[in-house]
Amino acid sequence: MGNPVSSATEFLIRTLFDLYILVVMLRFLLQLVRADFYNPLSQFVVRATNPPLVPLRRLIPGFSGVDVSALLLALALKMAELAIISLVRGASGIDLMALIVVSMADLTQLVVYIFIIAIIIQVVLSWVSPGGYNPMTVLLHHLTEPLMRPARRIVPTFSGLDLSPLVVLIVLQLVLILIVEPLYRLA
């Protein structure tokens, strides 16, 4: 077993970095799907990410509706997190290419998990409160619709049961297996 102080420090570093990276990735994804900017949850995400992103956007403009500065911020934060954790563990040096590849794999995995969790929450909410309005349900719909729409075209409803979330979850799991795992092995 490791040093408890080192383990606690690593836990705090991971938690703080990962929570903020999650908010930055949510901002990127919500902008990508053009979710409602005036939604209270969107406003929280925007306010939480504006301090680093506003100055960064002056240096790095968007490209074709893609917020490149948010992606680069998430990548830089993930690289910083992994580098700090390596130093806490006592590593003497850090391989920059491995750090970049692992950071990209972590961010890709995070995006896939965001979609998986959003789809599961949306399915559960459709069982518990179908047709109910909540700011979160609107954002979940905006977030998952680009993935669900093509699946709905391919998979017909079966006795009133929409199986498209199952298809999308299978595809997302394949992304983890075919893209994320090889990236980790590459690093």
* pLDDT at 159 (0 to 100): 83
Distance of alpha carbon 33 from its chain centroid, rounded? 13
Given a cut of 60, whether residue 103 has pLDDT beyond it is: yes
Structure pTM? 0.91
Which pLDDT does position 1 carry in this prediction? 54
User: Could you tell me what percent of the chain has a pLDDT over 70?
Assistant: 99
**Listed residue (41, 29, 53) closest to 114, CA to CA:** 29
Q: What's the mean per-residue pLDDT of the chain? A: 92
pLDDT tens per residue, range 163-186: 999 999 999 999 999 999 999 999
